[in-house]
Amino acid sequence: MAHIHSCVGKDDRRAVAILLALAALGLAVRFGPLARRGAPPGAVAYRAREVRPERDSVAARALRLARPLARGDSVDLDRAPADEIARLPRIGPALAARIVDDREANGPFGSLEALDRVSGVGPGLLTAIEPYARFSSRGVPRSVLEPRSATPGTPVSLNTATELELAQLPGIGPSRAAAIVADRARNGRYARIEDLQRVRGIGPATIERLRSRVRVP
């Protein structure tokens, strides 16, 4: 009898241990990382493979933007974003952002000469970027590139024109028109068209584009 009692005791202890293990497993399934949120108790959800964003393309773009332009490379200044334009020689992020802002305000450039209308762009910089610059709007009619330009007619007087009249001139726009009027009030009348270069952002290329459209006095 003692032997039978001993065997029963072992079996009971084993059963209790198994029950405790099953209970612990149930708690782990219910509250552990494999439990699906909102699922009934005891339901097991397999963890889906974590979807990570594509990093290769991001890294490749970062490497490409950091790489200097090689011979044969080019940047479309009529379409490229600021970070692409910043790859050009002597053009940093700030100037690239101004180029994009000017393009959005006044339309595509269409030529290297027209880029001179951007503040901070001068003959030296134009020479440096010429091998790498291209313009997808080159050859597009001026009426399309500059929809706000005035119809050719009587030249506008630089010394009496209003901001609105000046803003219609090619390569000027509202911000430069305001700058011209402010410069005129501060520094006096223009004696010749070349005096417009005292306004920031207006260079020789812009002067040539305006020569037949303005008059002094």
Are the CB atoms for 111 and 138 separated by under 8 Å?
yes
For the chain, which ranges sit under pLDDT 50? 1-8, 27, 29-36, 43-48, 50-51, 53, 141-151
Quote the pTM value. 0.43
CA distance 177 to 183: 10
Task: Classify residue 120 as left (phi > 0), alpha (psi -120 to 50) or beta.
Answer: left
Tens digits of residue pLDDT in 5-56:
444 455 566 655 665 666 555 545 444 444 445 555 554 444 445 445 455 5
Q: How far is CA 75 from CA 16, 37, 71, 168, in A?
A: 76, 50, 12, 29
